Amino acid sequence: MIFFRYFALNSTGAAATTAESMLLNLSITDLAVVKGLNLDLHTGMSVLTGETGAGKSILLTALGLALGDRADSGYIRPECKRAEINLEFDLSDAPHAQQWLQANDLDDEQQCLIRRVINEDGRSKAYINNRSVTLQSLQELSEQLVEIHGQHAHLTLLHSDEQRRLLDVFAKNQALVDSLNSCYRQWHTAHQELHALLKASTDQTEREQLLRYQINELQQLDLANFNYAALLEEHTKLANLEQILTIGQAQVECLYENDQHSVNQMLQHSINSLTQLCRYAPELQELCSMLTEAQIQTEEAALQLRRFLKVQDTDPQRMAMLEGQMEMIQKLSRKHRVSPDALPTTVTHIALELHGITHSGERIAELTTHTEQLHLHYAELAKTLSESRQHSAKKLQQQISDIIKELGMAQGEFLIDIAAQAVNTPKLNGLDTVTFLVSANPGLPPKSLAKVASGGELSRISLAIQVSTAHDKSTPTMIFDEVDAGIGGGIAEIVGQKLRRLSHNRQVLCVTHLPQVAAQAHQHLYVSKSHSTDVTASTVRLLEESERIEEIARMLGGVKLTANTLAHAKEMLHSVAT
C-alpha cells in the first residue's frame, strides 16, 4: 500500500498562509494506490515535481473525481470498501461561485467543502458543504472553481465551439450570450408550436368531425348527472329482485307472521316463562326486560322488511333501459380505453382538443406575430454580439500573436475569423462561426489550427490563449498537467514566466518536468516514494530554498549533482522576477 504524508512548511519553516479565493486543502483516502493524503495548498504559483511514478498523477485524478468526473469501483484501493476525496475552498473573492451556492441553498459563509465518496459497488455520492447533491450540480459548481488543463487539453482548441467560447470570455460577452440564448429558446418553443399547428391544419376538418362525433356519443350518457356507481348499484338490485322478494318474504314469515314458530312467538314464550320465575328469582327481571326489548326490535324489523318488500316491483322497462345504458358505458369505456367512471373526464379532454382546433386560427395568428417579434429581438442581440466579437477579436488575436512569438514562433501570426451563417435562422450562441487561424511563416495564407499546427505549437497557442483570457475568468484555481511537454530551453523559461503571471490574480498549480518552469513557482511541492519490506510510502512536501536548488539541479542534470548544476539551479531561482 502507499501512504502520502504532507509537510506544509515554507522556506523559513513557518506554517504556510492561505489566500482568498483558492483551493485550501485536498485530502484523499483509499484512492487507487493512495492510503491517505492531506495536502494544504497556497496562493500564487505552485509546482509539483518528482520522479516518474512517484504519484503526481493521482493528485490530478483525485481532483477530477472530486469535481465531477465519472467514477467506478476501479478507483478504490484494493481491499478497501470505498474511496473518499475532500476539497476545501475559500470563496472570499469568488462572487460567481458564491452566487451559485446561494441560488442552490448551499452557501456556508464564503467557505466551500466538496466531498466525493466512491463505493465498492461502483456508485458514488457527492456533497457540497455537507449536503448531498447530484453529480450535475457538482459539475456546475466546479466550473466556477477550477479549470484543469491536461496534457491534451489543447486539442479542444480545434473545435469551433471552444474557439467561440474563448473569444466570448475575452470579450466579456456572457451576459449578452445568455440573453440571446434565452430569446432563442423562447423563439424555438413558439416556432415549434406554430409548425405543429400549421401541419395539423391540413387534416383539421377530418379530426374536428371525429371529435364532434365522439362528444355527441358520450353525451348520450347524460354526463351532467352521470354516476356510474349509482347505476351499477341499481342495475345489480333489479337483476336480483326476484331473489330479494323470495328471501325477504320468507324472513318476514320467520320473524313475525308464523303463529307457531316465528321468532316473535318464541320470544313471547320465553318472556312468559321467565316472568313466572321472577317471583322466586327477582334478579331475572332484567333478563326479561332484555327479551322484551328484543321482541320489540324483532317486530319493528319485520314491519320494516314487509314495507320494503311491498314497494318492490319488477319494472321490465327500467331494467331494459339500465341494461342498454350499462352496455353503452362498457362499449365507450373500451373504445376510449378508460374506466367507466373516467368517461366524464374523457369528454372534457376531447372538448379541449376540439376547442384548440376550432380556435387554432387565432393561435396561429398569435404565434406568427410572437415568433416574428422574437426573431427581430434575436437579430438585434445577434448583431450586437457579432459586433462585440469583431471588436474583441482584433485585440485578442494581436495579444496571442505577441505571446506565441515569445514562445518560439517568431514568424507566427494568430488570426480570428468570424463568419456569419448564410441563413438568418436563430440558433444558440449567435449566428457567427468563429475560427482560429494561424500562419506559421510570412507570405503563407493563414489556415485553421487543425491543418497547420503541430502538437508543440498547439500547446504554445493554448498557453497563449489562457494567458490572454485569464484576467477575464472568474475561476479562482487553474491546474496545468504537463502542458509544457515538448518545450525546452529559453522557451521553457518564458512558459514558466507566463504561468507565474497567471498566478498574480488566481491560484495556479502546475505539474512539470521542466526546471525552467519549476524555478518560476512561489511554492515547490515535491513528490517522492520510498520502500520498506511491506509498505510503499510516498511523501509530498513543500521544499525549502536549499531543497529547491537541489531538486531543480536534479531536473537540470540528472541524479548526480555537480557544483555547476547546483550553481545553475541557484541562479535560476534568484533570477526569477517577483
DSSP secondary structure, 93-115, as one string? T-HHHHHHHHHTT---TTEEEEE
407, 463 Cβ separation under 8 angstroms: yes
Confidence bin at 217 (pLDDT 50/70/90): confident
384: Cα within 13 Å, side-chain hemisphere:
15
Closest-CA residue to 378 (of 190, 199, 196): 190
| Confidence check: pLDDT of 481 > 90 | no
Query: CA Rg, the chain, in Å?
Result: 43
336: left (phi > 0), else alpha (psi -120 to 50), else beta? alpha
User: Strand, helix or coil at 42?
Assistant: coil
Q: What is the mean pLDDT of residues 85-114?
A: 88
Distance between CA atoms of 169 and 207, rounded to whole angstroms? 52
| Confidence check: pLDDT of 535 > 70 | no
Element (H, E) at 480: strand 477-481
Element (H, E) at 552: helix 545-557
Element (H, E) at 416: strand 413-420
Confidence bin at 381 (pLDDT 50/70/90): very high
Which residues, 6+ apart, have CB-to-CB distance to 563 below 8 Å? none
Query: Which three cell numbers mark 402?
Result: 505577441
User: What pLDDT is recorded for position 228?
Assistant: 77
Confidence bin at 276 (pLDDT 50/70/90): confident
The 3 state secondary structure assigned to 299-313 is HHHHHHHHHHHHHCC
User: What pLDDT is recorded for position 379?
Assistant: 94
Beta bridge partners of 44: none
User: What pLDDT is recorded for position 171?
Assistant: 92
User: What pLDDT is recorded for position 7?
Assistant: 40
Question: Per-residue pLDDT tens for 17-76?
Answer: 334 578 999 999 888 777 888 888 888 999 988 876 656 777 888 888 999 888 888 888
User: What pLDDT is recorded for position 524?
Assistant: 93
Distance between CA atoms of 522 and 527, rounded to whole angstroms? 17
Q: Which of residues 572 and 207 earns the better pLDDT score?
A: 572
How long is the chain?
A: 578
Which residues, 6+ apart, have CB-to-CB distance to 179 below 8 Å? 381
User: What pLDDT is recorded for position 433?
Assistant: 93
Distance between CA atoms of 113 and 83, rounded to whole angstroms? 17
Least confident of 38-42, 200-204, 227-231, 272-276: 200-204
Q: What is the mean pLDDT of residues 262-291?
A: 86
Spans of all domains in the chain: 207-358
Closest-CA residue to 142 (of 185, 182, 181, 85): 85
| Confidence check: pLDDT of 1 > 60 | no
The CA-atom distances, in angstroms, between 138 and each of 15, 25, 65, 82, 107 are 31, 18, 10, 19, 13
Query: Which three cell numbers mark 568?
Result: 545553475
| Confidence check: pLDDT of 226 > 90 | no
| Confidence check: pLDDT of 450 > 80 | no
User: What pLDDT is recorded for position 11?
Assistant: 37
Q: Which of residues 183 and 281 earns the better pLDDT score?
A: 183
Distance between CA atoms of 145 and 129, rounded to whole angstroms? 14
Q: Which of residues 333 and 65 earns the better pLDDT score?
A: 65
Confidence bin at 372 (pLDDT 50/70/90): very high
Q: Which of residues 354 and 81 earns the better pLDDT score?
A: 81
Which residues, 6+ apart, have CB-to-CB distance to 567 below 8 Å? none
94, 23 Cβ separation under 8 angstroms: no
User: What pLDDT is recorded for position 20?
Assistant: 57
| Confidence check: pLDDT of 14 > 90 | no
Query: Burial, 78: exposed, middle or buried (Cβ in 10 Å; 0-12, 13-18, 19+)?
Result: exposed
498, 467 Cβ separation under 8 angstroms: yes
Tally Cβ neighbours within 10 Å of residue 82: 19
User: What pLDDT is recorded for position 577?
Assistant: 57
Confidence bin at 13 (pLDDT 50/70/90): very low
User: What pLDDT is recorded for position 314?
Assistant: 72
Question: Per-residue pLDDT tens for 233-264?
Answer: 777 877 777 788 788 888 888 887 777 778 88
The CA-atom distances, in angstroms, between 69 and each of 81, 158, 489 are 20, 22, 35
Confidence bin at 176 (pLDDT 50/70/90): very high
489: left (phi > 0), else alpha (psi -120 to 50), else beta? left
Confidence bin at 531 (pLDDT 50/70/90): low
Four-point Cα dihedral 372, 198, 205, 333, nearest 10: -110
C-alpha 63 chain-centroid distance = 19
4, 28 Cβ separation under 8 angstroms: yes
